[in-house]
Amino acid sequence: MNNEKCWECNGTLQRALVTETYDKPVLGSIAITDIPMLRCCSCGDKVIGADGSAYIDDTIEREYKKQGLQRQYRTRTEIITE
């Protein structure tokens, strides 16, 4: 995953841990911290890879369980293409 190039500007992508806020059905707004992703040094474009997607998925799953809610998405594939 190192030294990948940005699609937008051909800048260098570097690994970063980023906090993002997502709006989820039922759950509402959720801030997820330390998501592993690649960020462009030049334009700031962010790329979430498979590990980042899995991390987000797991965190959201935990949050649903914590609140005793039923999530509306069943498979990981649906989450990624959401």
Residues that bind Zn ion (CB under 5 A): 6, 8-9, 11, 40, 42-43, 45
Report yes or no: 42 and 11 within 8 Å, Cβ to Cβ: yes
**Nearest distance, CB of residue 4 and Zn ion, angstroms:** 11
Give, in order, the Cα–Cα distances in Å from 81 to each of 3, 8, 30, 60. Answer: 25, 21, 18, 15
CB of 28 or CB of 44, closer to Zn ion: 44
Half-sphere exposure of 56 (CA within 13 A, CB side): 26
CB of 12 or CB of 59, closer to Zn ion: 12
**Nearest distance, CB of residue 73 and Zn ion, angstroms:** 30
